Structure 1
Amino acid sequence: MNRKLTVGERIMYVSSEAPVNCIFPVKIKGQINRERLEQALLKLQQKHPLLRVVIREDEKGAPYYVTDTQIAPVPVDIRQRYTNDDWQQVSVNEWYKPFNVSQGPLARVVWLKSDSVSELLLICPHCICDGSSILTLLRELLMVLDNPLLELSPYESFEAIEDLLPAALLANKKFRLRGLFFGKIAQLVLWFKTRRLKPVTTRGYLLNWKLSQELSNTLVHRCKEEGTTLFSAIAVAFLDAFRQVRPTTAHNKLICPVDIRRFVPEIAADELFAFAPIVELSAEMSALNDFWTRTRSFKNELMAKIDKINIHELLYMGEYFHGSLPRMLTYLKTTDGTHDVTLSNMGKLQLPEKFDTFELETVYSPSAGFPWRNPNTLVASTYKGLLDFTFISNEAFLPESDARAIQMKAIAILQEKSRIKQTYGVKG
């Protein structure tokens, strides 16, 4: 492979010194064999081309993925485990620990080890994987760790963005002219918007919690009963919580990433890919409509906006914005944005609940340490029927005390709307 990073990958790459890192932690009961863990990681490398590349920049500073046939194995960093919460601080630290992208590999594992319980933290740069991709890596890692005889089928990655686009689009001169025009306009607009702004550098924090089994089950049942989705209920509850805790600064808007695999069949479900377009959504605020009516409206708005996405045009046009990327990154690092939070709902995690050689006690929603001025991110996932949340921000943009107040308000709303009266959740 020797291909230029797409615009979506390039945004998450940021720079060789500070790529955005994704962390996916799991808690395991039982003994883990180091040799089997390293063999499992080797099989992942043999399957996924992006685990065998380095990143090199050309004379203009544009980064490229380049296959390295002599790349080192994915490293395993073994550390002593002391408490159930160690993984949280380790996650935050790993956000800020860059990969040596010129040598690779673009993955590592931290193993927090004790006699009977361990946490494995899978870490990858966001430029090689979206949420679906890192879940695939985690699932394959655990399955091969449990069964070393399991084989993973390698695949060939695309060599250029054109490989994913219809021939008719590539031959359309109108779209090429539009791309050239809007690419130049973007450079000019971003220059005016960012020329006097300076990034704010503040270390982030992470909050993680789970809802109780009863509340998790009841909430899912109530969403079905009301003809809405769990994502919509979570979204409306958190937007309401933001508005209650921060009434003068809340926007009543969120953005959410969309998995493009449904639009681009050339990218298989188990292939690594990093570009996820986003849609912006707001919750209806009319006092005439109750919570569940608003969630149904929210669901309909989300579905309508996803249906309007023309992913092939988006991928094509994006390639004309490479010249704007330095200013675009500056803009993300220096402006508050017009949304309260980025919400990623990973849904019910497609992970086995039973293994032969160990017990996967729990899975924590993944995190990423975004260097944006507005880093507010909420990731939700469900494993073994428990709804788990990870919230990420930094003290400069959202004080942790406010984040905890928003957390409690949102939980109280979900608890009230589920018609359940009990403590909101369980710890780790």
Structure 2
Amino acid sequence: MKRKLSLIEGTMYAGGQTAVNVVSSVTIKGGIRESDLHASLVKVQARHPLLSSNVWEDEAGISYFVEQHPIQRIRVRTVNRLTDQDWERESITECLTPFDTKKGPLVRLVWLKSENISNLIFVGHHCLCDGRSILNIMDETLSLLGQPEMEIGTYKSFSSIQNFIPAEIRDSKVNKLKIQLFSKVVKLVLLAVTFKKEIKREKPFFLHWKLSQEESSVIIEKCKSEGSSIHYALSVAFLRGFKELETVKSHSRLYCAVDMRKFLPEIEDNMLFAFPVMLGLNLPNKKTAGFWNEVREFKKDLTKKIEEMNVNALLLYSECLLPSLPGMTRYAKADKGAHDFTLSNMGKVSLSEKYGALEIESLQSPTTFFPFGNPTTLSSTYFKGQIDFMLASDEYFIKQEDALALKNNAMNMIIQ
């Protein structure tokens, strides 16, 4: 296999030297045999072509996924589990540890091991998987631990993003002209900002919290009664929360990660994919009375943007920017961003509560430390009747104590 990385994949690759990893942890009750864990990972790796690939660049600096020869097995690092908080320390370590993109597999596992309880920390390079993908790898691994004899098959990875664009759109002379002009404008913009210096992100942190089943139920029912969902309520609550922080410059703007799978039927939910669309949205400007009126306005704006999104144009323009990726990466590492945070709400996840003799005690939502732009990211999942949150950032952008105040204020808006 040899496939050119898409624009989003190439952005997350970030030149191969920087850690851009997705991390998610699950707490397991029950005994795990080391031989079964490795056997499960062999089958998971065999299913997904990208898990047996590395990234190489050609003479022009264009990056490609290339199949390994010989294939390097997914690595497991075993650590004695001493406390219930060990997963957070190890997750931060894994977020900050780069992959060897030229030699090793781009997924790895940390096993926090004790007699009856384990934490499995799944780590994937963001260039080949998003939060949903890492949860899928987690589900497949646990399924095979519960049923070692099970077969999960395999599939062929697509050969190019261009395959998803209809030929009449891809070959249109008008579209080709537009793309050429757009590419030249981007190059000029990047030349104008080459003087900017990279921001050193040296104090990253996680803020993790999980609502009880009762609190989660109350919030979900309240959102339903208001004609909304937890996604929109979180968006407005945290945007409002940022405005109330005196120590942080608020832009009243966020980016919502929209899963592209819903627009590309060729990409199934259980395939590895890392091509989200980032839609920028502002806190509603309309004078509305009350929190839930603002939430409904925000819902209208996001729904309209998704409906108006031209997927074919998005794919076309993204492909033409590939030669500008090195400059775009340098700029992103030096930019503070003009938004408050990025929201990745994965909703109800497809994990089972039990896998054979193993039982999931809790799930920690997928998260990452972005090394470019504003790294502040809020991730959320819903599992076993509980909403789980991970807020990741760096103290250069927001102090940890301010992030805690933000979290408390935002959650109070929703719960009250």
Whether TM exceeds 0.5 here: the answer is yes
What corresponds to 2:193 in structure 1?
A: 193
Q: Where does 1:150-169 land on structure 2 (aligned, <5 Å)? A: 150-169=150-169
Cα distance in structure 2, aligned partners of 1:407 and 1:313: 37
Query: Is 1:278 aligned with 2:245?
Result: no
Do structure 1's residue 255 and structure 2's residue 255 form an aligned pair? yes
Alpha-carbon spacing, 1:216–1:285, altered in 2? closer, same or farther (3 Å): farther
Q: Indicate the larger mover: 239-248 or 259-268.
A: 239-248
Retained in 1: the 8 A contact 2:252–2:340? yes
Q: Partner of 1:329 in structure 2?
A: 329
Q: Distance in 2 between matches of 1:170 and 1:133?
A: 28
State how far apart, in whole Å, the 1-side matches of 2:116 and 2:262 are.
41
2:74 and 2:150 map into 1 onto residues whose CA distance is 19
Kindly indicate whether residue 86 of structure 2 is the aligned counterpart of residue 86 of structure 1. Answer: yes
Q: Distance in 2 between matches of 1:129 and 1:403?
A: 27
In the other structure, the counterpart of 2:23 is 23
CA spacing shift, 1:361–1:248, aligned 2, 3 Å: closer
Distance 1:19 1:415 in 2: 36
Where 2:31 maps in the other structure, the secondary structure is coil
Which deviations, in whole Å up to 9, do the C-alpha atoms of 1:164-213 show, x marking residues without a partner?
Answer: 22111122121111111111110111221342333323231111001122
Letter in 1 for 2:224: K
CA distance in 1 between partners of 2:381 and 2:122 (Å): 16
Paired with 1:13 and 1:246, the residues of 2 have a C-alpha distance of 35
Residue in 1 that maps onto 2:61: 61
- Amino acid of the structure 2 residue aligned with 1:308: E
Q: How much has 1:130 moved relative to structure 2?
A: 1.6
1:250-304 deviation digits (Å, cap 9, x = unpaired): 1111101111111111212211111111111122255642111111111111111
Q: Which residue of 2 aligns with 1:246?
A: 246
- The answer on whether the counterparts of 1:144 and 1:150 sit within 8 Å (CA) in structure 2 is yes
- Residues 23-62 of structure 1 correspond to what in structure 2 (within 5 A)? 23-62=23-62
**8 A Cα contact 1:71 1:103, kept in partner:** no
1: CA distance, partners of 2:313 / 2:168: 11
Contact 2:146 2:357 in 1 (8 A): yes
Following superposition, the deviation at residue 341 of structure 1 comes to 0.5
Given the alignment of the two structures, is residue 381 of structure 1 paired with residue 374 of structure 2, yes or no?
no
In 1: Cα distance, 2:327 partner to 2:214 partner: 48
Deviation of the 1:237 alpha carbon: 1.0
Amino acid corresponding to residue 409 of structure 1 in structure 2: N
Q: What RMSD in Å do the two structures reach over aligned CA positions?
A: 1.4
Distance in 2 of aligned mates of 1:210 and 1:39: 32
Verify the 8 A CA contact 1:12 1:19 in the aligned structure 2: no
**What CA distance in whole angstroms lies between the structure 1 residues aligned with 2:405 and 2:360?**
31
- Does the 8 Å contact 1:53/1:67 carry over to 2? yes
For the Cα contact (< 8 Å) 1:111–1:121, is it kept in 2? yes
Instruction: Tell me if the contact between 2:196 and 2:331 (Cα under 8 Å) persists in the aligned partners.
Output: no
Q: Runs of at least 4 residues of structure 1 off by over 2 A?
A: 193-201, 283-288
* Residue pair 1:187, 1:323 contacting (<8 A) in 2 also: no
Kept in 2, the 8 Å contact 1:348–1:381? The answer is: yes
**Pairs aligned (count):** 416
Distance in 2, Cα, partners of 1:393 & 1:248: 13
For 1:154, give the aligned amino acid.
T
Unpaired runs of 5+ residues, structure 2, are none
* Structure 1 residue 415: Cα displacement: 1.8
Residue matched to 1:208: 208
Q: Secondary structure of the residue that 2:321 maps to in structure 1?
A: helix
Q: CA deviation at 1:45?
A: 0.8
* Aligned-partner Cα distance in 1 for 2:11–2:297: 32
Cα distance in 2 for partners of 1:379, 1:201 equals 20
Partner of 1:426: none
The CA distance in 1 between the partners of 2:323 and 2:288, in whole Å, is 47
Bigger shift: residues 317-326 or 71-80: 317-326
SS in 1 for 2:210: strand
Shift of 1:356: 1.9
Please say if 1:12 is aligned against 2:12. yes
Aligned to 2:358: 358
Specify the SS of the correspondent of 1:110: strand
CA contact (8 A) 1:199 1:330 kept: no
Matched residue type, 2:94: E
How far does the alpha carbon of each residue in 1:113-152 deviate from its partner, in whole angstroms, 9 at most, with x for none? 1111110001110000122222211111111111112211
The 8 Å contact of residues 347 and 380 in structure 1, kept in 2 or not, is answered as: yes
SS in structure 1 of the partner of residue 365 of structure 2: coil
SS of the equivalent of 2:15 reads coil
Q: TM-score if structure 2 supplies the norm length?
A: 0.97
Report the counterpart of residue 420 of structure 1 in structure 2.
Answer: none
Q: Give the 3-state SS of the residue equivalent to 2:318 in structure 1.
A: helix
Q: Distance in 2 between matches of 1:138 and 1:248?
A: 36
> Kindly, what percent of the aligned residue pairs are identical?
39
Q: Counterpart in 1 of 2:219? A: 219
